[in-house]
Amino acid sequence: MRYVIPEELKSVCGRPVAVVTGASSGIGAATARALARCGFRVVLGARRMDRLRAIAEEIGGVGLPLDVTDASSVAEFAARVPEAQVLVNNAGGALGLDPVERARDEDWRIMYETNVMGLMRVTRALLPALERSGYGHIVNVVSIAGFEVYPGGAGYTAAKHAARAVTQTLRLELLGRPLRVTEIDPGMVETEFSIVRFRGDVTLAAKVYEGMQPLTAEDVADCIVWAVTRPFHVNVDQIVVRPRQQATATLVARTGRPAPSSDY
């Protein structure tokens, strides 16, 4: 579906600026493309600059290096983005499926740094520009892991529960100011997510989506663009989006099986 920038925003900003983190692949790249199609000027941030430059060139955007786990990188990135109306905090991810008794400190640290601290750093850095625009909108890509748990997922679900708490707190703290806050909670999306979680094991990653049709990155991007193109008096607090065949984080109906499985 084709969405358009509201006239009230275009009349003030012309082509408003949308910033997308984690934009070198997956949901971030799909969101950058979708926002550009709507008429936004898109600033893309990520660590993998080769991929980022290619996407930025494709959509007529600007690709800037960004490591959300590094405070100095975030500060340098924000200094090059003096104007912004939309921020999509998409950078994040999972590492491993180890139970708590075999948890790896470094995996948990990285997950917390990317999913929580990174979200906080980028939001804090760009909040003045967003508010100054008079039409600011913060979209945090969280997960159903922000309100569900599953065996082996404690590190990731803890981080996403925290990210959800930050998002909901922001909504309270920014009330009355010209800023909107939206939380996007996807279920199973076939991107590089599982490949990263399983440390590059593409065979194991593919099994996650075996016998079912997961969401695509474009499905999630569509939700994000719909939320940011509503009239400014409308705040879409939360969108939970899952594949039709997924009921919970672990309950998935797969073809060729007599009953829903819980092996994710």
The residues that are catalytic are: 156
> What phi-psi label fits residue 122: left (phi over 0), alpha (psi between -120 and 50 degrees) or beta?
alpha
The H or E element that residue 258 is part of is none
**Residue 250 is encoded by which pair of tokens?**
């672990």
* Percent of residues in the chain assigned helix, strand, coil, to nearest 5: 45, 15, 40
Q: How many other β-carbons are positioned within 10 Å of the β-carbon of residue 228?
A: 29
The three-state secondary structure class of 189 is strand
- Specify the DSSP class assigned to residue 246: B
**Residue 83 is encoded by which pair of tokens?**
């104007």
Helices assigned H by DSSP within the chain: 7-13, 26-38, 49-59, 71-79, 105-112, 118-133, 154-173, 193-197, 202-208, 217-228
Q: Residue 43: CB partners within 8 Å, gap ≥ 6? A: 17, 18, 19, 20, 61, 62, 63, 64, 81, 84
> What phi-psi label fits residue 92: left (phi over 0), alpha (psi between -120 and 50 degrees) or beta?
left
Q: What does the alpha-carbon distance between residue 58 and residue 54 come to, in Å, rounded to a whole number?
A: 6
